[in-house]
Amino acid sequence: MRMVFTAVPDDVFYPAQERLAAAVERWARKQRRDVDPFVIEALVEHRWADGDGLLCRWQPEDLREALCDWFPRRVNLTAQETSALLASVHTFVDFLFAEDLADARCAEPPTLHALIDEVAAEVAAAMRDEGRYGPAKFWTMRMLAAGVDIDDPQQTQRYIDDLHAGRIEVDQRLLDRVMANHEHAMGNDRPPPVPPADVPTDAETAALAASSVMLGRIRGFADWVGAGRPLTTTGRLPLADAAELIPMLGLADELDPVIGDKVSKTRSTDELYETSVVFAWAKAARVVRVVKGRLLPVKVAARLLADPAALAHRAFEAFFGLREAVCPAGYAASVIGWRFEEATFALGMALYVAREPVSVRELGDLAFAVAGEAAFIDTEAPDARPLRHACDDDLAALLEQLALLGVVELQPGHAALSPLGFALFADHLRRQGVTVPTLENLLTETAEVVIAHAADAPPAVGDALLDRWRQADPGIATKELLALAARTDDPNHRRLAETYARATDRAPARKLHSIGERRPRRPNRRGPR
């Protein structure tokens, strides 16, 4: 039976959830143990939706979170069903170990059973406290208590109409607690994990960063600032300084350019795009600062400037705040500028997950959708085309600056993350609390975790992961893979495990995995959780 569901879609998880609950119910019946399959479904759904998807690996803190928060807040069970809830979780723990489904990193049964008993009173109190409910559970339980069949749309609508008409009394203070609890819980939600990537080591990251064009410009700019430089009264670089910087840093800007047969006089460094970007980026990366009309070095940044990897991480984090420099409004609206940080993150995530070149057209669709939300724009409407063209211009500028940093590799009509880009974006995700598996840290994982990640990864990444994992300890790897092949009910995982169990250094397995057909998600029979 498959027990690892990290970052899988609904139509993969829900059929497996149902099979697992049915297996627990069959085992409990033979053992004459109490179990409610609905409790098992809710427990493992929590581990998939809000956790790491490792249904085979439980620690006391995992059960505490599920029992003391998830069930009271989300699961439609009454306080009277608390005893059945706890008994079902006890049964689930014993099922995992009896059926050899708990993995090597799962806490032992006595530890897990002790936690369930320890929190029993807390769970019972939380299940009685309506203020601990989320909004969906609050109203569902209210409707059930009123005799409403929540599967009947007409009855549900009548209840809602009566509520809006004031014919149903509600304690506003209680409702305020429900909403406050919901907002607090949403603020604590963990981001979903991402697929594994072959992220460069720190030493490799430093070597890649050393050849970054933009990092060279930032270092050169900091050196040029020296002990300090005066700015204009409006806080800009003087044009004379720009004339010095442009050739020194290899910028494409041109002072007083000739357009046609006329000279277009440059009036401000705001008109010099690349100069403005370097100036803004150096300030955002905190290697220079403005004090009383002068541009000064940041003394503590000297060590940073001498460390290519550290400077790369600092510069990448600073990029998310460069809206006005990278996408200036100019004569028209800057569309990506409406939601620059969000659009930049969405683009980075798309490239990170894709692991291969993505068409600029697709990236433009994504950026326009993210930016359009800020102005409630129907991005499909004909009158949105001028804004789409503006968005595409912004996207080209954004990608070009990331390419200069060395994060993005540009090809005709396509863009991809560079190795340096993978290193910097993986670190950025970790700063956001996202679980970011890498091939390196998966080498010590169990067979099922490795197989699950490899099966969902692009072939090159999955093959590299399995080759390196198997070669770390071929004997143990073969034993674990054969055991997994014998117990999993996922045909792709079984085929992959069997093939790599037979692989040798002379005959390595290559490009073996593919995703099978997905089955549709079953309907939610018990209402919202």
Is residue 156 a contact partner of residue 148, using CB atoms and an 8 Å limit? yes
Report the C-alpha gap between 208 and 203 in whole angstroms. Answer: 9
Contact 297, 288 (CB under 8 A): yes
What is the band of 437 on the pLDDT scale with cuts at 50, 70, 90? confident
For residue 512, what pLDDT is reported? 42
Q: Which letter does DSSP use for residue 299 in this model?
A: G
Whether the pLDDT of residue 18 is over 50: the answer is yes
Q: How many residues are recorded in the chain? A: 529
Please write the tens of the pLDDT for every residue from 21-33: 999 999 999 999 9
Q: Which two tokens stand for residue 174?
A: 């209680």
Count of CB atoms situated within 10 Å of the CB of 216: 16
Angle between helical axes of 474-487 and 447-456 (0-180°, round to 10): 80
Residue 355 has pLDDT above 50, yes or no: yes
Cβ-Cβ contacts under 8 Å for 92 (sequence gap 6 or more)? 24, 35, 39, 40, 43
More confident residue, 383 or 318: 318
Q: What is the pLDDT of residues 209-255, one digit of tens each?
A: 999 999 999 999 999 999 999 999 999 999 999 999 999 999 999 99
- Residue 289 pairs in a beta bridge with 296
Q: What are phi and psi of 4, to 5 degrees?
A: -120, 120
The confidence score (pLDDT) of residue 516 equals: 36
Phi, psi angles (nearest 5°) of residue 315: -65, -40
pLDDT band at 504 (very low <50, low <70, confident <90, very high): low
CB 117 within 8 A of CB 54: no
* Other C-beta atoms lying within 10 Å of the C-beta of residue 370: 23
Torsions phi, psi of 201, nearest 5?
Answer: -70, 170
487 to each of 3, 105, 350, how far by Cα in Å?
10, 18, 34
Instruction: Say if residues 187 and 429 touch (Cβ distance below 8 Å).
Output: no
Residues ≥6 apart with Cβ < 8 Å to 266: 239, 255, 256, 257, 272
Spatial distance between the Cα atoms of 202 and 239, rounded to a whole number of angstroms: 39
